[in-house]
């Protein structure tokens, strides 16, 4: 794995978020992965996977454009 591949590899930890409890709306980018607010302006948190739940496949998660936490 190259340095570039590693930078885009799915992560399994997002501080403050239980990846196994992410909702469908959060996984689809409709709601903030951090605070669950409806997203009108957003920022990419990265790509994540979890052992169980909706994120067993690599999934991009989004959060409020202004840091919510």
pLDDT tens figures, 14-60: 888 899 999 999 999 999 999 999 999 999 999 999 999 999 999 99
Confidence of residue 5 (pLDDT cuts 50, 70, 90): low
Three-state SS for 45? strand
| Global confidence as pTM | 0.75
**How deeply is 69 buried, as exposed, middle or buried, from its count of CB atoms within 10 A (0-12, 13-18, 19+)?**
exposed
- Torsion angle, alpha carbons of 53, 56, 60, 65, to 10: 20
Calpha distance 52→60 (Å, rounded): 16
């Amino acid at each position: 794995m190259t340095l570039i591949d590693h930078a885009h590899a799915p992560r399994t930890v997002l501080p403050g978020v239980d990846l196994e409890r992410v909702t469908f709306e959060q996984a689809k980018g409709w709601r903030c992965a951090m605070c669950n607010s409806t997203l009108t302006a957003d920022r990419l948190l990265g790509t994540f996977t979890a052992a169980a739940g909706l994120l067993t496949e690599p999934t991009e998660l989004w959060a409020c454009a202004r840091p919510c936490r």
